[in-house]
Structure 1
């Protein structure tokens, strides 16, 4: 039985609490920690967590032997400090995205996990969706041939007041805008599927949120050793939030939400009206024969984390995996700021790698013009469109 402390009880904690409650025979939430204790009290009452104690500081429970796991749902700028404190105290850690505010902090978290022998896992809940899980399995079948191009639309929409919350919209507290805190899900998914690129070029802007220092729209291109390209758009200005990943192979196109298309060339190379239905049927069979996941999104990742603790195996998304996503995001910001192509991996001596480097060099598109301590009637954060439609 793993005894869980939820650190930070804002909106995203709903998804974590609901996940743990699916496994009452494997875990129990015994502590709720928030600098606003009334938020923790609200979650305790809402979910009937009668055995959970309320704390206002995570340091108050570091040496509590009745706690096994720190589940960190705080704003990003304290992810590293709390994770390292917990690991050094002999606790396992499941930390929300983004992993940390810098690659240097990621290294410190990974080192703390290795030194303590405890498990560190970073939230990347899109890996635990049938749409992405099945898409990856079809890719691994090699039926579409060499990968040529991927289109990643990480389209979200947030109203102007979204950035009024006190920690959002600042480089120091949030660490970045939509590229870091929204597109991280799709960035993790595409590097999980296609591997790590060698070059990144990008541009960022803020077109709709003049109460935030950070970007609300970015466009990036990743180049791989094979010559393939990924084209990524990160946004919080897209009405409808029509998110997708489209992967073009030499033989066919596949995508999430699921679709497939295999062209046939005429002798002159132009596509004919007829499609390669034989290949399309094979792709459909490959997709449909992948078993559906029993648990999805945060619940799926929590189940994977609990399984890792029970069996002593590595979780699907460990510290190094969490760092890979942040390295791509760091490269996007560096390219946009310097107006240059960035080669990967980023050197540990690079200012953008180091803690405080990005904050020092990042542009302020606007200055933060409002600071709301808390929003009323907080609910679970919507996690985007159903990527399984059409399956």
Structure 2
């Protein structure tokens, strides 16, 4: 059995609820170090896992024994920390959105190539059972030509979940760069690209800061997207869905419609135009809601790519393409025009 020594940089909620437990469950991993600007936070996890604690990520990166790191920092640090880690010879799993610009994303991709290391972006929606099944159904041609879609990802906001509540970096434009669009919307652009196996070429969007008095970033956005072959649809991302979480996607196609994560009992439903229906109960989607913390499969995919020396399923290029759609939507909202991607 190979032991991959891992360091976790940034010990907030995403590390606490996703990265750390999933590394701990992986028999091929030893969590060797934690880093957080709040040293006590890192020390708390270090004590639990018999690991080292750091307040400065550059010190952690000097440890030659560490093979890989998770970058779970505020968004503005994703690129600089990831690049430094890659240049110090570590494989990198970076939280989404991977960067705050296309230029940063390119620099991360270049650093991974130059140093022969893996770079994976933590987009987990591809690995949800209903979404994996949906891709195989679309590929099979059962639905015929896809015409349109609608997808949403919204909840009441990260203040209920973040380690720092309303004072979280999520709401600070300097550190977050982007709000609900980067937190939630980019997950859906990645999912849609994965499901239709096409790139988006145009975006139009309305992006608002209306629901959070303590925030300087977007909290509600609706985008219209068009793919290479002319599939059109809407993507909504919001921190103002206060009655619960919506993580649904619906496709409208030649032979019927397919609903994903849109029904409490069945995670995939197909209504065929001939009157037939298909219902699949494939397990719960990943959620921030209490008691719904399921395995995202992101960690196991990352570790597998290192052990097998294979390309991570969501590599830097994939992360950049999903980010590009969000950047185009922001530009569209600012310029009040349709933007080419």
**What TM-score do the two structures reach when normalised by structure 1?**
0.78
Aligned partners of 1:310 and 1:168: how far apart in 2?
33
By relative contact order (CA 8 Å, sep 6+), the higher-ranking structure is 1
1:250 maps to 254
Quick one: distance in 2 between partners of 1:53 and 1:307?
A: 24
Q: How does 1:195-210 map to 2 (within 5 A)?
A: 195-210=198-213
Shift of the alpha carbon at 1:174? 0.3
Matched with 1:28 is 30
CA contact under 8 A between 2:159 and 2:168: conserved in structure 1?
Answer: no
Q: Counterpart of 1:215 in 2: which secondary structure? A: coil
SS at 1:182 equivalent: helix
- 1:298 is displaced (CA, Å) by 5.5
Q: SS in structure 1 opposite 2:49?
A: coil
Match of 2:184 among 182, 202, 223: 182
Structure 1 residues 160, 301: closer, same or farther in 2, change over 3 A? Answer: closer
In structure 2, which of residues 221, 226, 236 is the aligned counterpart of residue 223 of structure 1? 226
Q: The residue matched to 2:126 in structure 1 has which SS? A: helix
Provide closer, same or farther for how the CA distance between residues 166 and 251 of structure 1 changes in structure 2, counting only shifts above 3 A. closer
| Corresponding position of 1:53 | 52
Aligned alpha-carbon RMSD (Å): 2.2
Change (3 A) 1:131 1:310: same
Aligned length: 320
Given the alignment, which residue of 263, 274, 288 partners 2:273? Answer: 263
* Partner SS for 2:297: helix
CA distance in 2, matches of 1:332, 1:325: 11
Structure 1 segment 25-174 matched on structure 2, within 5 A? 26-45=28-47, 48-50=48-50, 52-158=51-157, 164-174=166-176
Aligned equivalents of 2:244, 2:294: Cα separation in 1:
20
Q: Distance in 2 between matches of 1:21 and 1:160?
A: 26
Once the 2 structures are TM-superposed, how far is the Cα of residue 305 of structure 1 from its aligned partner? 1.0
1:233 matched to which residue of 2?
236
Shift of residue 299, structure 1, vs aligned partner:
4.6
Structure 1 residue 69 displacement after superposition: 0.6
User: Which whole-Å CA distance do the structure 1 matches of 2:45 and 2:119 have between them?
Assistant: 25
Cα distance in 2 for partners of 1:225, 1:95 equals 28
Q: 1:324 to 1:156 in 2, by over 3 A?
A: same
Cα distance in structure 2, aligned partners of 1:340 and 1:100: 24
> Residues 310 and 167 of structure 1: is their aligned pair in 2 closer, same or farther, counting only changes over 3 Å?
same
TM-superposition CA deviations, 1:306-351 (whole Å, max 9, x none)? 111111110111000111111000001000000010012xxxxxxx
Distance 1:304 1:69, change over 3 A: same
Deviation, 1:214, is 1.2
- What is the deviation of 1:292? 12
Aligned to 1:332, which of 317, 329, 333? 329
Is the CA contact (8 Å cut-off) linking 2:5 and 2:29 kept in structure 1? yes
State the Cα distance separating 1:222 from its structure 2 match: 0.6
Question: CA shift at 1:158, angstroms?
Answer: 2.1
Q: Residue 77 of structure 1 contacts residue 172 of structure 1 at CA under 8 Å; is this kept in 2?
A: yes
Counterpart-to-counterpart distance in 2, 1:291 and 1:168: 29
SS of alignment partner, residue 151 of structure 1: strand
C-alpha distance in 1 between matches for 2:305 and 2:115: 16
Offset at residue 43 of structure 1 (A) = 2.2
